[in-house]
Homo-oligomer: A and B are copies of this chain.
Amino acid sequence: MRIAIDAMGGDNAPEVTVEGGLAAAAEWKDTEIVLVGDQSRIEPLLEGKQVPANLTIRHASEVIDAEDEPVRAVRRKKDSSMVVAGRMVKEQEAHAMISAGNTGALMTTGLLVVGRMEGIERPALAPMIPTLDDLGVLALDLGANMDAKPEHLAQYAQMGSLYRQKVHNIAEPRVGLLNVGTEAGKGNELTKLAYPLLEQLPIRFVGNVEARDVLTGNCDVLVCDGFAGNILLKAMEGTAGAVFSLLKEQFTKSLKTKLAAAMLMPELRGLKGKLDYTEHGGAPLLGLGGLVVKSHGSADANAVKNAVRQARIALQNRLVESISKEISGK
Looking at the complex, which of A6-14, A81-89, A114-122, A225-233 is the stretch in contact with chain B? Answer: A225-233
Q: Which of A234, A237, A270, A274 has the most CB of B within 10 A?
A: A234
Bound-state CA distance A240–B225 (Å) is: 24
Which secondary structure dominates where chain A touches chain B? helix
Bound-state CA distance A143–B180 (Å) is: 9
Contact with B along A214-256 (1 / 0, CB 8 A): 1110000000011110111111111111111011001101001
Oligomer copy total: 2
Interchain CB contact under 8 A, A242 and B146 = no
Q: Which of A210, A213, A225 has the most CB of B within 10 A?
A: A210
Contact with B along A28-62 (1 / 0, CB 8 A): 00000000000000000000000000000000000
A71 at the interface (CB under 8 A from B): no
CB distance from A210 to the nearest CB of B (A): 6
Interchain CB contact under 8 A, B257 and A264 = yes
Interchain CB contact under 8 A, A271 and B257 = no
What are the residues of chain B within 8 A of A147 when measuring CB–CB? 188-189
A197 at the interface (CB under 8 A from B): no
Q: Which of A147, A232, A253 has the most CB of B within 10 A?
A: A232
Bound-state CA distance A187–B228 (Å) is: 11
**Which residue of B210, B228, B247 is within 8 Å of A228 (Cβ)?**
B228
Bound-state CA distance A240–B215 (Å) is: 10
What are the residues of chain B within 8 A of A227 when measuring CB–CB? 180, 187-188, 191, 228
A268 at the interface (CB under 8 A from B): yes
A224 and chain B: residue at smallest CB distance: B231
Interchain CB contact under 8 A, A256 and B263 = yes
Interchain CB contact under 8 A, B275 and A180 = no
CB distance from A147 to the nearest CB of B (A): 5
Bound-state CA distance A132–B210 (Å) is: 24
A330 at the interface (CB under 8 A from B): no
What 10 A-B pairs have minimum CB-CB distances, sorted nearest first?
A212-B238, A235-B235, A211-B234, A260-B263, A146-B188, A250-B267, A239-B239, A212-B234, A211-B235, A260-B260
